[in-house]
Amino acid sequence: MADNKERTFIMIKPDGVQRGLVGKIIQRFEEKGFKLVAMKMVWPTEELLKKHYADLAARPFFPGLVKYMSSGPVVPMVWEGLDSVKTGRKMLGETNPKDSAPGTIRGDFCIQVGRNIIHGSDSVESAKHEIGLWFPEDKKEGVIDWASWAEKWIYE
Ligand code: DAT
Ligand code: MG
Cα(82) to centroid(ligand 1), Å: 25
pLDDT band at 143 (very low <50, low <70, confident <90, very high): very low
pLDDT value of position 50: 98
117: pLDDT strictly greater than 50: yes
**Per-residue pLDDT tens digits for 77-104:** 999 999 999 999 999 999 999 999 999 9
DSSP secondary structure of 55-69: GGTTSTTHHHHHHHH
DSSP classification of residue 80: E
Alpha helices in the chain (DSSP H): 14-18, 22-32, 46-52, 62-69, 84-92, 105-109, 124-134
Q: Does 106 count as an annotated binding residue?
A: yes
32: pLDDT strictly greater than 70: yes
Average pLDDT score over residue span 15-37: 96
pLDDT value of position 13: 98
Check if 116 has its Cβ closer than 6 Å to any atom of ligand 1: yes
Average pLDDT score over residue span 101-127: 98
Q: Does 90 count as an annotated binding residue?
A: no
Cα(74) to centroid(ligand 1), Å: 16
What pTM, to 2 d.p., does this model score? 0.91
**What percent of the chain lies above the pLDDT cut of 90?**
81
> Of the ligands numbered here, which is closest to the C-alpha atom of 113?
1
The phi, psi pair for 36, rounded to 5°, reads -80, 120
pLDDT value of position 142: 46
